[in-house]
Structure 1
Amino acid sequence: MKKHTLIAALSGCMLSLTACTAKVQEPAVTAFEAGRIKADMAFLADDMLEGRKVASEGHELAARYVAAAYARAGLKPVGDDGSYFQQVPFVKASLVRENTSVTLTANGKNETLTFADDYQMRGSSAHPKVDVAGDLVFAGFGVHAPTLGHDDLEGLDVKGKIVVLIADAPKGFHSEVRAYQRSNAVKGKELAKRGAVAMVTIRTPAENARFGYDRYLEFINDPSFDWVRPEGSGEAQGLPSLLLSPAMQKRLFAAAGVDLDPILAAVDAGTDKVAPVDLGLHLAIKAESKASDPVTSPNVLGLLEGSDPELAHEVVVMSAHLDHKGVKEDEGEGRKVYNGALDNAAGISTLLEVARVWKESGLRPRRSVLFAAVTAEEEGLQGSDYLAHFPPAGYQMVANVNLDMPILLFDFADVNALGGERSDLGPIVEAAVAKAGLALSPDPLPNEGRFTRSDQFRFVQRGVPAVALKVGISPAVDGADSAALTDTFMKNIYHKPSDTMDQPIHFDAAAKFARVNWLIANEIANRDMAPQWNAGDYFGGVFEKQD
């Protein structure tokens, strides 16, 4: 630049210091472009990618698309061997139906249960050969949480037995704690330590109305995915488990002389106390899973390097899951692609827009920001779990901002900050939301347990404070019935082939969503202190900072 040109530019800043400072501190609102988000979503949700199933060609193509966007945004590749790809090793396990049977013994008579009609179970690489039998004991919720004043297993002998559990936890728990405690993985690990040999889960009418038994059947033939733990990792495994149909669970309790209906009605009504029952029945479970050779599927990792030499080794992880449900061949209905436009092409496209704007703004935060398009969220948060265990060498994760399935069907006026109240991320989120001209509202769907059901929770389990914004359902800016649109999406479109670009997606809302997430991540990356759990927070105590 010539000397007189440089002087003129500096003079312009001196005459309009406020404007120059604003440009340095924050990109203009218009920097977040709806059209770019739309273009990225259109590609990622195209039939050509065949639903971005883990370890599929479509997912691989999507991963390469994201890597190219990272390169354009000037992000440093921090995957394997100097690439953008952190390859996650998986084993797929498919249930061998012909070698799977469940036999109930009641009053001296044996009954062979029918797969799908009476029960369902998935293949498991952790339990490739199951051959167990035991007396059935009903343990209510099966929740062991003495620090919360609740222990369904106290005084209950489960050694050598098969435990029947309600697929829930007490409503008196905080909604996010309840979602964690209702997990089969959490319950199974505790029961395994006590010598139980298997689990049988049952569901209440309210739970079946929310997400019915038939919805689970849609994916009954899908293999399970598990990332391959290093030998000697010592991570506890859970138990073999099966889910009973509503009709079968009622028949089972009737065979024991127990009326199940009032028990489940009391749970739906809010009771926290469910008495255990020795059912006087016997169950035998045989199951075989065929495991594949290890396959890989990548997390796509790009780093915006921090500017502060003292803080650049600390990273704020911005994550979104890249995978979806793939393709299914339904008898009589033909081939269906599960495109996953809102779940989660929308989250990935938001992530890419934040990366692009950060580059074009010329800003460099003090801490580094790791952009992570993770695999296998739909398979149990597997890709984020791997990343949380194996972050890029030399970097310490200090916070996670996760972008998963923003329901962008209207111009939203409020957001929900899942997990925000658990750490000092809360005030950061509150300030960012206000700056974006939005309201911050409580989670309107507390029974969904959304904080524990997406990738942010894998970072929480490694002791890292996290937050995930969800589009709220307050009256929409554009007059749309936001609550009805959200409800319709969750009931009729979520995890269905209809989650496509043909929906009336509001792309200006997508740009707004990108901006507010940028505001949050930027503030975390520039503050003096790394985020801390609030004193006495449940998850902060359960998952102390991991090495």
Structure 2
Amino acid sequence: MKNALKIIVILLFISCQNEKKDNAEVAVIDQATIGNHMERLASDAFLGRKPFTEGEEKTVNYLKDEFENLGLLPGNGDSYFQDVPMVEITGTPSENMTISGNNGSFNLKALKDFVATTNKVETEVGLENSELVFAGYGIVAPEYGWNDYEGIDWKGKTAVVLINDPGFQSGDSTLFKGNEMTYYGRWTYKYEEAARQGADGLIIIHDTAPASYGWNVIESGWSGARLVIESDLPLLNVESWISGESAKKMFDASTLKGQDYKTLARNSDFQPIPLALKATVGIQNKIKKDVSKNVVARIPGTDRKDEFIIYSAHWDHFGIGKTIEGDSIYNGSVDNASGTAGLLAIAEAFKKSNTTKRTVVFIAVTGEEQGLLGSAYYAENPIYTPSKTVANINIDALDSPGKMKDLTIIGYGQSEMDEYAEAAALEQNRYIIPDPDAEKGYFFRSDHFNFAKIGIPALYASGSYEGFDQTIEEIKKAKDHYLTYKYHQPSDEYQAETMELSGVQFDLQLFFNVGLTLANEANFPKWYEGSEFKAARK
């Protein structure tokens, strides 16, 4: 049945494309537009585009002006902005986290060995001789018969957990989703679950492979000011990471000395294990309440103007932070000046095209780097009725050294958006593949996730595996270089003399073609049976 639907969708897409070609040439995404906006947004003048800074003010006004210059209408009533109330918490952890036990104590050093943050809007929080309990992966998943917290009263205790989920590198494709990360594997879930259990704190053990990034990303991402949306949900006093080396030191001093704690945690009958250790750490907070902004613009439809296609990309990055090799501005050229420039380039292409039957909306969201905050706020306070929102196409961190043969779909197998993407890829003589790095949990790491959570089928994809002019090995080498040396670092800068944008343009053309098809038909893409988001659509 699924294959039959797939064939129908592809035929409808090609038919629609042919109809558009008969009426007028489909607009071409302008590569110069992409480059100009990327260079501008990633320049030092925008100060790394961090919310609540001068960089935000410059960024959101730039985007508003560019949408207005293109002839797009305000997307939130008569405004181009959606206010997103946030709290900026600048937390300074104590220099040491002290781990004490029956045989003495030792200190972990801030940043080098641990990071500690909080989402509590309080000037002073911490752990004071909080009992440490190993809680495996920190997961409660009834559908898998799994509960890492069972049998313990967590009040006054701190859970110590592994990153990712039990399926990762288990060799068992039926254990959770095998190597594909589930939401249970994400750090965001782990902090949320520990708070629901009533714990005082949670310490996640860093490990590069299951986390999919090195300790340097933890240092830069979990230090300095952070943004949160105030919530009535339970919160931890301390959210922490420790390095793998520090974890080894901790376990060597604990009741689990000499035992393989990772193997223990992978058993379905795992029970929490008190470590006979206590942790003490404090955090001093400076609190600033303010309002950040999503930037929203629209092109009204004609026949079906109350049905909506939403393009999204996050405009924010890390601003000014820890100095690395003499540079402290985190420009975020790839992440995500590329996607923000892509919104403007696609909007330009829609304005060049014939009018669309459905309304096309462009949302540049805030706070993605702080936990998908802008899209989460939109999902809780949608401007456009979710049941009337046909689909979301999300654009984040486009970076390819040339045109790609593949289109890699993050979260492949969730909805009929796969078929729309495949049909558009065929038009470009490309093939589609599921995410080969599904264990890294990218489906939960960008803004499409919050649209999916409220039932809107989403496409998040890019060419990232095999080039027309570059081999698989060459592409992997370039990708690894970016993740190691540029991702979330000041070195993610726009360099006009070496920037290759043909692959970015190729992907954006595909996203435009998919959106143009959706904007001129009556179909609503559906979630597949078995998708956890299908119920939300109903």
Common topology (TM > 0.5): yes
Report the equivalent of 1:350.
Answer: 342
Report the equivalent of 1:13.
Answer: none
Report the equivalent of 1:166.
Answer: 162
Tell me the SS of whatever aligns to 1:117: coil
Report the equivalent of 1:369.
Answer: 360
User: Cα–Cα, structure 1 residues 479 and 60, in superposed 2: closer, same or farther, change >3 Å?
Assistant: same
Q: Is the 8 A contact 1:377 1:383 kept in 2?
A: yes
Q: Is the 8 A contact 2:254 2:276 kept in 1?
A: yes
Could you report, residue by residue, the CA deviation over 1:444-498 in whole angstroms, capped at 9, with x for unpaired residues? Answer: 2222211100111111222222120122212433568222111211111212222
For the residues of structure 1 that align with 2:300 and 2:83, how far apart are their CA atoms? 22
Report the equivalent of 2:138.
Answer: 142
Report the equivalent of 2:4.
Answer: none
Tell me the SS of whatever aligns to 1:121: strand
For the residues of structure 1 that align with 2:398 and 2:267, how far apart are their CA atoms? 33
User: Cα–Cα, structure 1 residues 204 and 519, in superposed 2: closer, same or farther, change >3 Å?
Assistant: same
For the residues of structure 1 that align with 2:257 and 2:103, how far apart are their CA atoms? 20
Report the equivalent of 1:116.
Answer: 111
For the residues of structure 2 that align with 1:418 and 1:19, how far apart are their CA atoms? 28
For the residues of structure 1 that align with 2:37 and 2:414, how far apart are their CA atoms? 33
Tell me how far 1:278 sits from its aligned partner. 2.0
Tell me how far 1:244 sits from its aligned partner. 1.5
Tell me the SS of whatever aligns to 1:313: strand
For the residues of structure 1 that align with 2:445 and 2:385, how far apart are their CA atoms? 29
Tell me the SS of whatever aligns to 1:189: helix
User: Where do 1:465-480 residues align within 5 Å?
Assistant: 465-477=457-469
Tell me how far 1:163 sits from its aligned partner. 1.2
Report the equivalent of 2:220.
Answer: 218
Aligned residue type for 1:222: G
Tell me the SS of whatever aligns to 2:434: coil
Q: 1:204 aligns with which of 207, 210, 214?
A: 207
Tell me how far 1:416 sits from its aligned partner. 0.9
1:381 and 2:337 correspond: no
RMSD of aligned residue pairs (Cα, Å) = 2.9
User: Where do 1:94-493 residues align within 5 Å?
Assistant: 94-97=90-93, 102-107=97-102, 109-126=104-121, 128-132=123-127, 133-171=129-167, 172-174=175-177, 178-204=181-207, 206-207=209-210, 210-228=212-230, 234-238=232-236, 240-259=238-257, 262-264=260-262, 276-292=272-288, 294-308=289-303, 311-328=304-321, 330=323, 333-364=325-356, 366-392=357-383, 396-477=388-469, 481-493=474-486
Identity %: 28
Tell me the SS of whatever aligns to 1:215: helix
Tell me how far 1:60 sits from its aligned partner. 2.0
User: Cα–Cα, structure 1 residues 545 and 197, in superposed 2: closer, same or farther, change >3 Å?
Assistant: farther
For the residues of structure 2 that align with 1:403 and 1:545, how far apart are their CA atoms? 22
Tell me how far 1:50 sits from its aligned partner. 1.7
Report the equivalent of 1:10.
Answer: none
For the residues of structure 2 that align with 1:263 and 1:369, how far apart are their CA atoms? 51
For the residues of structure 1 that align with 2:179 and 2:443, how far apart are their CA atoms? 6
Aligned residue type for 1:201: I
Report the equivalent of 1:12.
Answer: none
Query: Larger radius of gyration, structure 1 or 2?
Result: 1
User: Cα–Cα, structure 1 residues 516 and 271, in superposed 2: closer, same or farther, change >3 Å?
Assistant: farther
Tell me the SS of whatever aligns to 1:530: coil
For the residues of structure 2 that align with 1:265 and 1:501, how far apart are their CA atoms? 44
For the residues of structure 1 that align with 2:92 and 2:263, how far apart are their CA atoms? 36
User: Cα–Cα, structure 1 residues 261 and 521, in superposed 2: closer, same or farther, change >3 Å?
Assistant: farther
Could you report, residue by residue, the CA deviation over 1:378-414 in whole angstroms, capped at 9, with x for unpaired residues? Answer: 1111111112222226674342110000113222111
For the residues of structure 2 that align with 1:205 and 1:42, how far apart are their CA atoms? 31
For the residues of structure 2 that align with 1:193 and 1:218, how far apart are their CA atoms? 27
Could you report, residue by residue, the CA deviation over 1:312-349 in whole angstroms, capped at 9, with x for unpaired residues? Answer: 22222100111112223538x54432221111111111
Report the equivalent of 1:14.
Answer: none
Q: Is the 8 A contact 2:399 2:504 kept in 1?
A: no
Equivalent pairs, count: 511
Tell me how far 1:299 sits from its aligned partner. 1.1
User: Cα–Cα, structure 1 residues 237 and 138, in superposed 2: closer, same or farther, change >3 Å?
Assistant: same
Unaligned runs of 5+ in 1: 1-17
Q: Is the 8 A contact 1:137 1:162 kept in 2?
A: yes
1:505 and 2:499 correspond: yes
Q: Is the 8 A contact 1:476 1:482 kept in 2?
A: no
1:525 and 2:519 correspond: yes
User: Cα–Cα, structure 1 residues 193 and 41, in superposed 2: closer, same or farther, change >3 Å?
Assistant: closer
Aligned residue type for 1:184: W
Q: Is the 8 A contact 1:140 1:276 kept in 2?
A: yes
Tell me the SS of whatever aligns to 1:136: strand
Report the equivalent of 2:13.
Answer: none
Unaligned runs of 5+ in 2: 1-16, 168-174
User: Cα–Cα, structure 1 residues 467 and 187, in superposed 2: closer, same or farther, change >3 Å?
Assistant: same
Tell me how far 1:517 sits from its aligned partner. 0.2
Aligned residue type for 2:78: G
For the residues of structure 1 that align with 2:98 and 2:348, how far apart are their CA atoms? 57
Q: Is the 8 A contact 1:162 1:197 kept in 2?
A: yes
Could you report, residue by residue, the CA deviation over 1:265-322 in whole angstroms, capped at 9, with x for unpaired residues? Answer: 788xx87775632212223343332211x222221100111222xx422222100111
Report the equivalent of 1:63.
Answer: 60
Tell me the SS of whatever aligns to 1:423: coil
Aligned residue type for 1:192: A
For the residues of structure 2 that align with 1:298 and 1:429, how far apart are their CA atoms? 30
1:92 and 2:108 correspond: no
Tell me how far 1:24 sits from its aligned partner. 3.2
Tell me the SS of whatever aligns to 2:455: coil
User: Cα–Cα, structure 1 residues 271 and 75, in superposed 2: closer, same or farther, change >3 Å?
Assistant: farther
User: Cα–Cα, structure 1 residues 216 and 195, in superposed 2: closer, same or farther, change >3 Å?
Assistant: closer
User: Cα–Cα, structure 1 residues 131 and 378, in superposed 2: closer, same or farther, change >3 Å?
Assistant: closer
For the residues of structure 2 that align with 1:82 and 1:141, how far apart are their CA atoms? 47
Aligned residue type for 1:302: A
For the residues of structure 1 that align with 2:126 and 2:455, how far apart are their CA atoms? 37
Bigger drift between 496-505 and 37-46 goes to: 496-505
Tell me the SS of whatever aligns to 2:149: coil
User: Cα–Cα, structure 1 residues 345 and 126, in superposed 2: closer, same or farther, change >3 Å?
Assistant: same
